């Protein structure tokens, strides 16, 4: 099943991000927004994960880090300086749980979470971007006020 997502306003978001004071602030805003969206998926995937031992549900994380094996297999296909990954880390058996084997029928949990929570995740990313950009703008205002006070003394 193919799903298309249309996101509007990315040019404007990029312009606002570029106006932030430092590249670190830009990355921080992006990372927190992606983490918020990823957490929506992770919560749903944890609910849907098979409960044999409960280990699989406890291992579903939202992270920017990958294991060594995952880094070798990963192809960075994004132009963004920040990526966030959602899934069972590092749990190679989780793949066989999701897709099944010739001996074990599939028990999907990640894809249904994606299908169910895509809209909510995009909404969480947008909300987190707004919140984080405002927080960074307030930080910058406080820094400018401190610099102005120091300059007067």
Query: In this structure, is residue 36 part of a structural domain?
Result: yes
Residues in the chain with pLDDT < 50?
none
Question: What is the extent of the structural domain holding 136?
Answer: 10-152
Number of domains in the chain: 1
Query: In this structure, is residue 4 part of a structural domain?
Result: no
Asked whether the beta carbons of 94 and 67 are under 8 A apart, the reply is no
Tell whether pTM > 0.85.
Answer: no
Nearest Cα to 85, choosing from 107, 60, 49, 57?
60
Average pLDDT score over the chain? 84
pLDDT value, residue 112: 93
C-beta neighbour count of 117 within 10 angstroms: 19
pLDDT value, residue 34: 92
pLDDT value, residue 68: 74
What is the per-residue pLDDT across 94-115, written as a single tens digit (0 to 9) for each? 888 888 999 989 999 999 999 9
* DSSP calls for 93-151: HHHHHHH--SSS-----HHHHHHHHHHHHHHHHHHHHHHHHHHHHHHHHHHHHHHHHHH
């Amino acid at each position: 099943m193919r799903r298309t997502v249309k996101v509007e306003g990315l040019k404007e978001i990029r312009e606002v991000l570029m106006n932030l004071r430092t590249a670190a602030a830009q990355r921080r805003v992006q990372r927190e927004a992606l983490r918020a969206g990823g957490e929506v998926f992770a919560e749903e995937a944890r609910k849907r994960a098979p409960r044999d031992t409960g280990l699989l549900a406890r291992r579903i994380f939202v992270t920017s880090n990958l294991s060594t094996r995952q880094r070798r297999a990963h192809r960075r296909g994004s132009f963004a300086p920040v990526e966030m990954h959602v899934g069972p880390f590092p749990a190679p058996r989780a793949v066989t749980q999701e897709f099944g084997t010739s001996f074990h029928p599939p028990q999907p949990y990640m894809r249904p979470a994606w299908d169910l929570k895509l809209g909510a995740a995009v909404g969480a990313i947008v909300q987190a971007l707004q919140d984080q950009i405002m927080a960074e703008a307030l930080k910058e205002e406080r820094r400018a006020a401190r610099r102005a006070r120091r300059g007067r003394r």
